[in-house]
Chain A
Amino acid sequence: MRVQGKWAFLQRGLRATAQRALLGLATLFVVSLIIFLAVSLLPGDTAEALLGHDATPEALAALRQQLLLDAPVQVRYLHWIAGVLHGNLGTSLSSGRQIADLLSQRLPNTLFLASLAAALAVPLSLWLGIVSALHRNRLADRLISGVALVSTSFPEFFVAYLLIMVFALKLAWFPPLSIIQPDTGLLDRTYQTLLPAVTLTLATAAHMIRMTRASIVSLLSSPYIEMARLKGLPARRVILRHALPNALGPIANIVALNLAYLVVGVVVVETVFSYPGLGQLFIDSVAKRDIPVVQAVCLIFASTYILLNLTADVIAAVTNPRVLHPR
């Protein structure tokens, strides 16, 4: 160890990161293949399945041209993925618009919703997780874990409708549906997005609270914490200054995992509030069988999800002393 110098751990961290990045790239490739090949699951002739039986021969021929349906499958895949990488995602079958345009309208809205939810959920659950670790097995802890159990069990649409019934219809504090135009200002946008964001917060906070609590509680039983306690330090200082820094790695990992979950969770929540984001576009396109749009949105969701999970994985690896300092 000493001979290798102080950069050895950096090297190991880089190697662990590179390994996982490579695995992530491979997964992305396989996922893009699955999404691409999913079109061939359509029964019968693809062009006819996409356009319906009453499509004119000209329209069918045009679609065959657009999707290169007569070319061999590997050519079609390369063409498609090259288009995707250049931001050319093709045109929507139902509206005839460029898919890239549709996405550039919707994606910022979804990112806004997800960020607002994360901004609420992450500090809240870290705080509640630390509080329950501080008061473990006492009233506050039981209360928090009870609420967490309830909110993980309840489906998002149930929570969403409850919030609508209480805060939009009974109290009329918030609008029941999120009406957001491209020119809506930041303040109004936040106001319109608050109920959906709170729904997502409730859906993700429970897991983060539990895991934060678990990682701090498991640290509290380690000898150096007992030492700090025997020195007579107050419990608050032991947790915040001694335990928390060492729990940051696992906690960052949990946060990244939950952000990945958040990205997928928007689908249901956006549908309830008819929030004009990617999730709603996805569900609309699924209902209309607008397959090119479904594929494009699926690809975005899947790559975000995979990249966030990858980030979680890398954080877990590089903050793990056993990876960085092997015996």
Chain B
Amino acid sequence: MLLVLSRAARRSKHTRHIPRSAAIGLAVIALYLALALFAPLIAPYHEMAIVARPYEPPSLRFWLGTDTLGRDMLSRIIFGARNTLGIALLTTLLSFLLGGGAGLLAATAGRWIDQALSRAADVLIALPKLIFALMILAMLGTSVTTLITTIAVLDSPRVFRLSRALAVNVSAMDFVDVARLRGESAFWIVRKEVLPNILTPLLGEFGVRFVFVFSFMAALGFLGLGLQPPTADWGSMVKENATLVSFGNVIAIVPAAAIAILALAVNTVLDWAMNLSAGLTDETGMS
């Protein structure tokens, strides 16, 4: 037993330097970010430009061939990085704004507001998200704003629960009492005393939520209710080129591979980060 413990302790000292898997993950994330930021400079063609006949095989001119409409696959993948990642990032930000804001409010604004918000979160969290997102988008249509708002609202209760729990713990601290007795306003207390103390775990959660939202959006795109064509989006590109798969064309699943690799990279980095700050939840892939 003691031997195991001492070995574990020795191992945890070594976690200061980044393990190889996490380093590769970080490099992959950096590559995706670069593609997203500089897409117009890197891509040989525009995402919507029809540049050749459909189903052109890979060649020197079209590295990954052309898609069902004769658009350059590589260019669409590169622009896809920008569109898909951008939307997922915006959605996660909005989800944190909604969930985090409501969580802080619930933790500081008294019992009734807390009860109302918590029960609403209980219901929202009990819904199967994919099914409800599909139903709501079927009713409201799939404009970019609708897409972002719907997913952010469906995703926000998890952020709410975490930020509320964290904020409740902090606001029971003596220094918050002192600030209250000093006559500081509730907003000041949240901004200066509570928020700085819960920011680190919230950042970890941001990574988890981002992977979830990103994969979720990809599934929506694949099911036909994500970002709409002709905008290049990895999820809907899989759907568009699905017929190619039955001809054994490997190129068709490149957009799906792009999604898979990024999700794996982020999860690898998160896995390492969570081991560092053990005590955070073990839920990276689910729900």
Please name the residue on chain B nearest to A290 by beta carbon. B138
Task: Enumerate chain A residues within 8 angstroms of B256, measured Cβ to Cβ.
Answer: 155, 157-158, 161
B259 CB-CB contact with A under 8 Å: yes
Task: Enumerate chain A residues within 8 angstroms of B219, measured Cβ to Cβ.
Answer: 155-157, 268
B94 CB-CB contact with A under 8 Å: no
* A291: min CB distance to chain B, Å: 7
B215 CB-CB contact with A under 8 Å: yes
Please determine whether A42 and B285 come into contact, CB atoms closer than 8 angstroms. Answer: no
Please determine whether A153 and B260 come into contact, CB atoms closer than 8 angstroms. Answer: yes
Task: Enumerate chain A residues within 8 angstroms of B238, measured Cβ to Cβ.
Answer: 157-158, 161
Please determine whether B224 and A283 come into contact, CB atoms closer than 8 angstroms. Answer: yes
* B71: min CB distance to chain A, Å: 20
Chain A residues in contact with chain B, CB under 8 A?
23, 27, 30-31, 34-35, 38-39, 41-43, 149-150, 152-158, 161-162, 164-165, 169-170, 176, 206-207, 210-211, 214, 226, 257, 260-261, 263-264, 267-268, 271-272, 282-283, 286-287, 289, 291, 294-295, 298, 301-302, 305-306, 309
Task: Enumerate chain B residues within 8 angstroms of A161, measured Cβ to Cβ.
Answer: 238, 242, 245, 252-253, 256
The 6 closest A-B pairs by CB, nearest first: A152-B285, A153-B264, A158-B256, A153-B263, A41-B139, A305-B128
* A60: min CB distance to chain B, Å: 19
Task: Enumerate chain B residues within 8 angstroms of A165, measured Cβ to Cβ.
Answer: 245, 248, 250, 253
Task: Enumerate chain A residues within 8 angstroms of B223, measured Cβ to Cβ.
Answer: 267-268, 271, 283, 286
Please determine whether A155 and B215 come into contact, CB atoms closer than 8 angstroms. Answer: yes
Give CA–CA (A154, B131) in the complex, Å: 20
Task: Enumerate chain B residues within 8 angstroms of A210, measured Cβ to Cβ.
Answer: 282
* A323: min CB distance to chain B, Å: 19
Option from B1, B129, B131, B139 in Cβ contact (under 8 Å) with A39: B139
* A211: min CB distance to chain B, Å: 7
Please name the residue on chain A nearest to B286 by beta carbon. A207
Stretch at the interface among B45-53, B119-127, B169-177, B179-187: B119-127
Please determine whether B282 and A309 come into contact, CB atoms closer than 8 angstroms. Answer: no
Give CA–CA (A301, B131) in the complex, Å: 7
Task: Enumerate chain A residues within 8 angstroms of B15, measured Cβ to Cβ.
Answer: none
